[in-house]
């Protein structure tokens, strides 16, 4: 099924627009004529990057808000169509209203909520769409949405802690760079002219900093072009599967980044698996849905091996044992869940344990980033100040008898 945008006229000549989910444009046209509309234009919704930039998508904060709103409304007994209508009608964030409007148009065409949110370009990550799909299959959508909202809110607060830790060092670094730049462009050259007039050599540190400043000024256009090319080119290159795979392999080889990537993948994988199993779906269906949430190709391949092992009759814990991103403590909890017939609860507990560990790791990193950045800024400022003061001290010693 594909998503199509259409323009059509009523019998009175009034223009209407909307979205429809169908297998081809002919099916869309048939539906519109059945509703008494005369289609003028039917176009398939593009999924490329250029189109996505033109569509309002939800950021992480708004995703949590929308999930919470839908969880509350659907739990109160409202149909999905009515819940989206209420969200759309609220005077809130325009991006939420736009997403709710697109999703509601698709739901009214017969699409499930998961497909409507995905086709409507809501911005929800793949594991959220997979979890919503599992909730629809088990008829427990409100509970699944509530769990998703709680998870997104927790993840949002964790990222806010890291962002807050970077605000003060970033502000200090900006002011320090500005002041140091002014010193090197205005004060230091005058000192260099004075030394040149007296025939005395500049201190090595001052000479080096002046040379570096002159080089940056002479090549400023080229440096800006290089930085712009990196900023634009790297994201484009990372969209290529081969380049992305090499980049992920490089990050996984780094101690800190590799550990974070494995913990993040394990948390999302187990969280999705727990949501699917708790919605009374088979374990095999759970691992298939959980595979969709993994971004790293290596982890996706390992997850496919897990699926194949379960299809061959292996238990979930034994199949997960061959993966490199699931930690041993999570395997023990999953195995305990299998033995106690509480697989969904223990899998969720394993996901919560990994998420808590990841949150603590991030907090420790955020705590260390502040002093480390301040130390680096201090060293940089000290170097600039010394490069300015050393010539003054040198001249003073030459003047005094």
| Other residues' Cβ atoms within 10 Å of the Cβ of residue 383 | 13
pTM: 0.65
Sign of the alpha-carbon dihedral angle for 78, 82, 84, 90? negative
Distance CA 320, CA 306 (A): 6
**In which residue are the tokens 């793949």 written?**
126
Distance CA 95, CA 45 (A): 18
2-9, strands of its sheet edge to edge: 15-22, 2-9, 38-44
Output Rg (C-alpha) for the chain, integer angstroms. 29
| Other residues' Cβ atoms within 10 Å of the Cβ of residue 68 | 17
Mode of pairing for the β-strands spanning 15-22 and 2-9: antiparallel
Distance CA 113, CA 103 (A): 7
| Other residues' Cβ atoms within 10 Å of the Cβ of residue 336 | 16
pLDDT (tens, 9 = 90+) of the chain, 401 residues, equals: 566 777 788 877 777 776 666 677 878 788 878 878 888 788 776 544 334 444 556 777 788 888 888 889 888 888 888 888 888 766 656 778 778 878 887 887 788 888 888 877 777 877 678 778 877 876 778 888 887 888 777 777 766 766 776 777 778 778 878 887 787 777 777 777 777 777 777 788 888 888 888 888 888 888 899 989 988 888 888 888 888 888 888 988 888 888 888 988 898 888 888 877 877 778 888 888 788 778 888 888 998 999 999 988 888 989 998 888 999 999 999 999 988 888 888 988 998 899 888 888 877 887 787 788 888 888 888 888 888 788 777 776 766 55
């Amino acid at each position: 099924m594909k998503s199509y945008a259409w323009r059509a006229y009523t019998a009175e000549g009034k223009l209407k627009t909307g979205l429809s989910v169908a297998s081809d444009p002919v099916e869309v046209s048939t539906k519109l004529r059945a509703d008494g509309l005369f289609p003028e234009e039917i176009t398939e919704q593009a999924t490329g990057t250029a189109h996505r930039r033109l569509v309002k998508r939800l950021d992480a904060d708004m995703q949590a808000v929308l999930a919470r709103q839908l969880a509350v409304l659907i739990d109160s007994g409202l149909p999905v169509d009515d819940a989206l209508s209420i969200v759309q009608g609220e005077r809130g964030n325009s991006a939420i209203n736009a997403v709710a409007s697109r999703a509601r148009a698709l739901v009214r065409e017969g699409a499930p909520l998961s497909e409507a949110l995905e086709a409507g370009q809501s911005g929800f990550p793949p594991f959220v769409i997979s979890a919503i799909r599992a909730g629809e299959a088990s008829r427990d959508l409100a509970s699944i949405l509530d769990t998703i909202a709680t998870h997104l809110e927790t993840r949002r607060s964790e990222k806010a802690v890291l962002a807050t830790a970077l605000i003060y060092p970033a502000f200090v670094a900006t002011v320090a760079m500005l002041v140091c730049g002014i010193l090197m462009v205005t004060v230091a050259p005058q000192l260099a002219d004075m030394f040149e007039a007296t025939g005395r050599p500049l201190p090595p540190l001052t000479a080096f900093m002046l040379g570096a400043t002159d080089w940056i000024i002479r090549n400023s256009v080229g440096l800006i072009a290089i930085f712009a090319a990196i900023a634009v080119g790297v994201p484009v290159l990372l969209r290529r599967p081969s380049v992305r795979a090499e980049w992920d392999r490089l990050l996984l080889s780094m101690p800190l980044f590799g550990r974070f990537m494995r913990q993040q993948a394990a948390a999302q994988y187990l969280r999705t698996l727990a949501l699917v199993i708790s919605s009374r779906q088979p374990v095999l269906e759970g691992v298939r849905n959980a595979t969709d949430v993994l971004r790293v190709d290596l982890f996706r391949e390992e997850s496919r091996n897990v699926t194949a092992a379960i299809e061959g009759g292996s238990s979930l814990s034994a199949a997960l044992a061959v993966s490199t991103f699931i930690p041993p403590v999570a395997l023990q909890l999953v195995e305990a869940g299998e033995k106690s017939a509480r697989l969904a609860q223990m899998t969720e507990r394993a996901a919560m344990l990994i998420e808590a560990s990841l949150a603590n790791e991030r907090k420790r990193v955020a705590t260390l980033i502040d002093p480390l950045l301040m130390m680096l800024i201090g060293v940089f400022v000290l170097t600039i100040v010394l490069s300015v003061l050393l010539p003054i001290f040198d001249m003073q010693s030459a003047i005094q008898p």
